[in-house]
C-alpha cells in the first residue's frame, strides 16, 4: 500500500504551485519508505535551466525530479500512480527523518 502526502493542501498552495510551475513538498510513502518528489512543469524546468546556465554556466538537476503537464493535484496523483506501476520508486533513494503525521494525506493507493 502507498500514500501520497503534501505538506500543505490548501487552495492557496494549489494555486501557488500551479502559478510557480513547481511543487517540492510532495511525499510518497510505500511500505516503510518515504520519498520526496520535486514536481515541475516543463516550462518552469526550462526557465530554471536557462537561468542557471546564464548565471552559473551549468544546471544541476534536482533529485527525484518529476515532470507533469500542469502542477495540480490531479496531475501529480496521476503521474505518481503511473510511476509506481513502472517501479520508479525502486530506483530512487528514500528520505529519512520525516514525520508523516505533520503532512496532509492526499491519497492512498493499493499495490497494482
Q: How confident is the model at residue 111 (pLDDT cuts 50, 70, 90)?
A: low
- Residue 91 domain-assigned (yes or no): yes
- Residue 34 domain-assigned (yes or no): yes
Total number of domains constituting the chain = 1
Tell me the per-residue pLDDT of 35-54, one tens digit each, with 9 for 90 and over: 999 999 999 999 999 999 99
- What is the span of the domain harbouring residue 18? 2-107
Does residue 112 have a pLDDT over 60? no
φ, ψ for residue 57 (rounded to 5)? 80, 5
pTM, entire model? 0.92
Q: What is the mean pLDDT of residues 84-106?
A: 95
- Residue 112 domain-assigned (yes or no): no
Q: What is the mean pLDDT of the chain?
A: 95
Q: What is the mean pLDDT of residues 50-67?
A: 95
Residue 64 grid coordinates:
527525484
Share of the chain above pLDDT 70, in %: 98
CA 71 – CA 57 distance, rounded (Å): 27
Alpha-carbon radius of gyration of the chain: 14
- Residue 103 domain-assigned (yes or no): yes
Q: What is the mean pLDDT of residues 84-108?
A: 95
- Residue 102 domain-assigned (yes or no): yes
Amino acid at each position: 500500500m502507498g500514500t501520497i502526502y503534501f505538506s500543505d493542501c490548501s487552495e492557496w498552495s494549489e494555486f501557488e504551485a500551479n502559478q510557480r510551475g513547481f511543487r517540492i513538498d510532495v511525499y510518497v510513502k510505500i511500505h516503510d519508505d518515504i520519498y520526496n518528489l520535486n514536481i515541475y512543469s516543463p516550462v518552469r524546468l526550462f526557465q530554471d535551466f536557462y537561468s542557471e546556465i546564464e548565471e552559473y554556466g551549468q544546471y544541476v538537476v534536482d533529485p527525484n525530479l518529476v515532470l507533469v503537464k500542469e502542477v495540480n493535484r490531479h496531475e501529480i496523483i496521476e503521474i505518481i500512480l503511473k510511476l509506481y506501476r513502472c517501479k520508479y520508486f525502486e530506483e530512487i533513494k528514500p528520505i529519512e527523518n520525516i514525520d508523516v503525521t505533520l503532512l496532509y494525506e492526499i491519497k492512498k493507493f493499493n499495490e497494482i
